[in-house]
Amino acid sequence: MDDWAALGYLVAAVLFILGLKRLSRPRTAVRGNQYGAAGMLVAVLVTLTDNSIIGFEWIAGGLILGTVVGALLAVKVQMTAMPELVALFNGFGGGASVLVAAASYTQAVDLATETSRLSSSAALASLIGAVAFTGSLVAFAKLREALHWSGFPGITFLSGIGMVAAVVFAVLMAVDAENSLWLWLLVAVGAVLGLLVVAPIGGADMPVVIALLNSLSGMAAVAAGFVLDNSLLIIAGSLVGASGLILTQIMCVAMNRTLPAVMFSPAPSGSGADVDDIYAGKVRSTSPDDVAMLLESAERVAIVPGYGLAVAQAQHAVRDLTRRLAERGVEVVFGIHPVAGRMPGHMNVLLAEAEVSYERLVEMDDVNPTFEQTDVTIVIGANDVVNPVARTDPSSPIAGMPILDVDKSDVVVVIKRSLSPGFAGIPNPLFAADNSLMLFGDGREAVVSITKSLQHL
């Protein structure tokens, strides 16, 4: 690599760093993303001038095909489908790192320039990249609800065997250097591992997995950087790896679960035995008209959305209700739990799409002290994140999980299809509380009806 190319890569790295810095504020975030894209353009252009590039047919074909497919996917996707699209893109990044490592390693083996450093970094890149690739595809299929398979008993044990096999193949790859078979075996084990580890994870644990896979694709790029001896891959990959790990950590804290618990213990499931004790005779259902009347006399209303909001595509209906209330002088805020939805920040994106001002979206720690002064809280499609059991019952599967204290507001209206439990599989005493009203039905239709009733008042 000549000095000019190295300088170009440095410019690209600086652009990535400035881009990430600017992504941290809504006001500058659009610019930040453009900085990142500019950095990528610089990196590609600099690479194309590299002396070792002789033929451009394959390059041109790949660039055109990838651009068309990527642009089509990005432009066509619905905002509610964002989690699976991010998972899919992430998988492609991981897959690309595998192939980069495989191509350089094959080349080095053919030319007998292979070294122990090369083989160990190629082993890491192919293993991590393959896990990120199939793991992301499984996450994609699960989020699209195209895959309902959640593994089989003993799947964790099988994953353990897979990890041991991966270590063995990596060692063999370093010892038996003339043979590129070990690399492909390692890719195969990584691919199976990605499948086995992600398949049992579902529902509310999804944000953790998506963040972790994001981190893995960054680490795969770092390993590919060691293979190619390329500083830019190492720097950019590390930035992504670190960002994914931090998000993973934030999501785990928000659920009071550890990463190993999310990955290797099956989804927590509570007993359904005492459901009748909790709900029998205590659940009061209400109608849109009654809710509208409550809202009419309210001064402060909090709306707490969950994954059900995305499923019901209720974000625009909620926006209309918010506007109607604001016109009447009601103060409306949204209480957002960090793991509401299927990826970090999912609710924020949905509500932003519906043009709900982000000043109205309040984080858990800031909104919790305000519930006591809130007249009406409307819970839409959320369950475990508002379950007071997390505070009261140490034996519950969600004990200690930080929740939104909606039960402290004067009235809680829960919009939900039925009394069915959330991801944690436990009943929610909130539904039977004295200050709770259930509005059964589809989230979007319910909110539309409330807004209509409010108009007639």
Partner 1 sequence: MELLIAATLLVLAVFLGVELITKVPPTLHTPLMSGSNAISGITIVGALLAAGADHSTFTAVLGFVAVTMAMINVVGGFLVTHRMLHMFGPRRRRAAADQSETDGEDL
List the interface residues with partner 1, window 143-172 (CB under 8 A).
none
Q: Are 409 and 302 in contact (CB under 8 A)?
A: yes
Least spacing, CB of residue 435 vs partner 1, in Å: 28
Q: How many residues does the chain have?
A: 457
Own/partner pairs, 319-325, CB within 8 angstroms, 24+ separation: 319/351, 319/354, 319/355, 319/356, 320/447, 320/448, 320/451, 321/447, 321/450, 321/451, 321/454, 322/356, 322/360, 324/451, 324/454, 324/455, 325/295, 325/298, 325/301, 325/454
Angle between helix axes 116-143 and 82-111 (nearest 10 degrees) is 160
Could you give the 3-state DSSP secondary structure of residue 71? Answer: helix
One DSSP character per residue, 129-179 reads HHHHHHHHHHHHHHHTTS------TTHHHHHHHHHHHHHHHHHHHHHSTT-
> Applying CB under 8 A, which of residues 2, 4, 7, 107 lies at the interface with partner 1?
107
Name residue 109's amino acid. V
Nearer to partner 1, 367 or 430 (CB): 367
How far does Cα 131 stand from its chain's mean position? 17
Nearer to partner 1, 338 or 422 (CB): 338
Among candidate residues 178, 200, 209, the one with its CA nearest the CA of residue 111: 178
Residues between 209 and 248 that touch partner 1 (CB under 8 A): 210-211, 214, 217-218, 220-222, 224-244, 246-247
Q: Determine if 344 is a binding residue for partner 1 (CB under 8 A).
A: yes
Nearer to partner 1, 244 or 308 (CB): 244
Q: Determine if 37 is a binding residue for partner 1 (CB under 8 A).
A: yes
Distance CA 249, CA 341 (A): 17
Residues between 397 and 416 that touch partner 1 (CB under 8 A): none
Stretch that binds partner 1, among 22-30, 147-155, 190-198, 270-278 (CB under 8 A): 22-30
Q: Determine if 30 is a binding residue for partner 1 (CB under 8 A).
A: yes
Least spacing, CB of residue 69 vs partner 1, in Å: 5
> Applying CB under 8 A, which of residues 48, 171, 175, 457 lies at the interface with partner 1?
48
Name residue 170's amino acid. A
Instruction: Tell me the two tokens of residue 388.
Output: 């007071």
> Applying CB under 8 A, which of residues 52, 395, 418, 455 lies at the interface with partner 1?
52
Q: Determine if 82 is a binding residue for partner 1 (CB under 8 A).
A: yes
289 is a catalytic site residue: no
Q: Which residues contact 283 (CB under 8 A, 6 or more apart)?
A: 419, 431, 432, 436, 438
Among candidate residues 379, 351, 371, 387, the one with its CA nearest the CA of residue 286: 379
Residues between 304 and 333 that touch partner 1 (CB under 8 A): 323, 326-329
Nearer to partner 1, 103 or 161 (CB): 103
Could you give the 3-state DSSP secondary structure of residue 24? Answer: coil
Least spacing, CB of residue 184 vs partner 1, in Å: 11
Element (H, E) at 362: strand 361-363
Residues between 359 and 388 that touch partner 1 (CB under 8 A): 361, 363
Stretch that binds partner 1, among 20-28, 187-195, 296-304, 395-403 (CB under 8 A): 20-28
Least spacing, CB of residue 312 vs partner 1, in Å: 19
Nearer to partner 1, 240 or 426 (CB): 240
Which member of 384, 405, 407, 442 is catalytic?
Answer: 384
Nearer to partner 1, 240 or 291 (CB): 240
Kindly state the number of chain residues that form the binding site for partner 1, as judged by CB under 8 A. Answer: 116
Least spacing, CB of residue 250 vs partner 1, in Å: 8
Q: Are 149 and 200 in contact (CB under 8 A)?
A: no
> Applying CB under 8 A, which of residues 2, 66, 149, 179 lies at the interface with partner 1?
66
Stretch that binds partner 1, among 43-51, 150-158, 261-269, 281-289 (CB under 8 A): 43-51
Residues taking part in catalysis: 384
